[in-house]
Chains A and B, each alone.
Chain A
């Protein structure tokens, strides 16, 4: 094993543990404390319209989940079972949207869907399906890829038609994967914020949007707190229930990968048509987003792009959102958030890999922000850091700290396996050459860690660039991030702000896609699945 000296471990673990306690556990505790008050729950739930919000949140999540499973099934099948030219590209086309900022996906569907769809539940659900197909392809595709081909062949020779094979053999054996995918998609769509904010309109608020509205527009922080805690409870129940179900239904295959080339003409036709439809489905919204940034009225125009640098729409009339300034702000926050995540995540990973059992506690603790909705994190910080001596709401750094909270677990996940796999005898070898233990450790680990650190820094930057939910609560006029600016621009009437919103979303799309591509080459993205 690759352990550091014992006395060093507490020093390594302290900063991440402290950061987690101050910026996650404390705000969450404050939030819960606000709720534990006689009458608060009845009051919040009794508020007019709350039943409708709950109902909409639930049914759109269920509908999105079912539709995503249905739409994602064919691509999952083709990508899991067949090797074909362009397979890697298709896999990327399916996976990338999942990592795009929700605001970019929202903007893309705003650009794609006809005006009559704007502000409807349909628009929200369609965007959710697009966003989450990756989850089905990954979580259903993984068990499908190792399902032995001969098992379905055996069913065929016993007289089962292809449909019967699907129903009586494939589906029962994929059930754990389907459950896992369904659960993840449900959790994402139940807590969806960015896409709903842009596409759902005032008539279709999810719980998440309602929490933000109450806290930031109505000033009803207590009501918002009650709803966040209610949401946390629902999520916890769903996760617990699903985990129980999944454990019951798991069948393990020690089989090898059954991915192979299509043999018969009908198989080839099937693969080609599914791949083509999937590619078009995944590429169209993003392509339309880019093209709409160049359209004004009925013609093509560069005006939206040329006016990105100023907040003025007409001479003297300012919108209060400066797109280029938001780009600068976002980049600055992204660099800071990436720095914090890599430092804190790096220390945590070192501590966890060197500590024995107690390291696990920190590992799980650092994962918690991922299971908490962005709006809950933002709201918790908003109500916690508003009184002296922690009146940090006016401090610009609170936003990148919030981003780092969400990005750090990815850094830890990327670094831990590498740290654990560095063989101890390399260190011993260096030590016999006369290096002190710390020097030896440093010399060896730095070489192994350079790539995963670079990759996960990029990933952290991408997460920071796209973060919308928590930022909504912490943002201040004049220092909007790109997602906030995009949402503002697209919320305005008038063609130019709209086209500017699409242009800014295009910049965010391209930046994020580039960062993802670089991170992918560092091999850190697989860690994201884990």
Chain B
């Protein structure tokens, strides 16, 4: 179970998050709704450990992980603008987390193949990520975060910026994928329909 307690973040004078507490049960998919500027992305960054909060704590399975550095949290984060590594291929991006963990090459390659299959981009393994379309890049970003089997997956507006058709199709795919992998997920969106389509439960910030 993932939980935040009284998370507070200030940027200078402005308080972006004011004592925010929430819970996500294991295996649950929760959508976090709210207008832009409400601090949704900031909260995800605090949970992932790439931004230090000014107050409050983050808990994973009843363990306080507030002081744990990002790379030891086992929490994945899919960025709104993907943030794929431009110097690596599609397979290189997906296998990045596995390489960092020092997983044996053959094992990692098998896992990458599995994920390529899951997102339907098997033929793209050796392409540079700079040549992907918007939808393809989003799929690769998702696969990259899923590869190291994170305890929790955070998704920051994963479907924003896609055209309507692709958006609806990917929303369905994403919902199915999260269920199939049994992933505990917290999803940030500003689109209520999207939230309902993908998540078990919604929270408004």
Contact = CB atoms under 8 A, between A and B. Distances in A.
A and B, one complex? yes
Interface of A: 148, 150-151, 153-162, 164, 168-169, 172-173, 251, 253, 263-264
Given A160-B100, A263-B52, A251 B86 contact: yes
A162 to B, nearest CB: 8
B83 A158 contact: no
Contacts of B144: 158
B74 A159 contact: yes
B83 A159 contact: no
27 contacts: A150-B79, A150-B81, A151-B85, A153-B45, A153-B50, A153-B79, A154-B79, A156-B69, A156-B70, A157-B71, A157-B75, A158-B71, A158-B96, A158-B97, A158-B145, A159-B71, A159-B97, A159-B101, A160-B97, A161-B100, A164-B71, A168-B96, A169-B85, A173-B86, A251-B86, A251-B130, A263-B51
A157 B81 CA distance: 15
Contacts of B43: none
B77 interface: yes
A132 to B, nearest CB: 27
Interface of B: 45, 48-52, 69-77, 79, 81, 83, 85-87, 96-97, 99-101, 130, 144-145, 147-148
Given A164-B100, A168-B96, A168-B100, A156 B50 contact: yes
Nearest to B144: A158
Contact of B100 (A151, A158, A172, A251): A158
A154 B77 contact: yes
B14 to A, nearest CB: 13
Contacts of A160: 71, 96-97, 100
Given A153-B50, A154-B77, A159 B86 contact: no
Contacts of A151: 83, 85
| Main secondary structure on A side of the interface with B | helix
Nearest to B156: A150
Contacts of B76: 157-158
Contacts of A153: 45, 48, 50, 70, 77, 79, 83
B100 A173 contact: no
Nearest to B81: A150
Contacts, number: 77
Given A157-B75, A159-B74, 12 more contacts: A150-B79, A153-B45, A153-B48, A154-B83, A157-B49, A157-B70, A157-B73, A157-B145, A159-B100, A168-B96, A251-B86, A251-B87
Contacts of B51: 263
Nearest to A157: B77
Contacts of B147: 158
Nearest to B82: A154
Nearest to B86: A251
Nearest to A260: B11
B172 to A, nearest CB: 25
Contacts of A173: 86-87
B74 to A, nearest CB: 7
A441 to B, nearest CB: 45
Nearest to A159: B100
Nearest to A249: B87
B83 A148 contact: yes
A160 B85 CA distance: 13
Contacts of A159: 71-72, 74, 97, 100-101, 148
A270 B148 CA distance: 30
Contact of B87 (A164, A172, A264): A172
Contacts of B48: 153, 156-157
Top 4 nearest A-B pairs (CB, nearest first) are: A158-B97, A156-B70, A153-B50, A154-B83
A197 to B, nearest CB: 43
B106 to A, nearest CB: 19
B79 to A, nearest CB: 5
Nearest to B130: A251
A267 to B, nearest CB: 9
Contact of A150 (B83, B96, B99): B83
A353 to B, nearest CB: 36
Contacts of A161: 69, 71, 100
Nearest to A150: B83
A148 B81 CA distance: 11
A457 B58 CA distance: 60
Contacts of B96: 155, 158, 160, 168
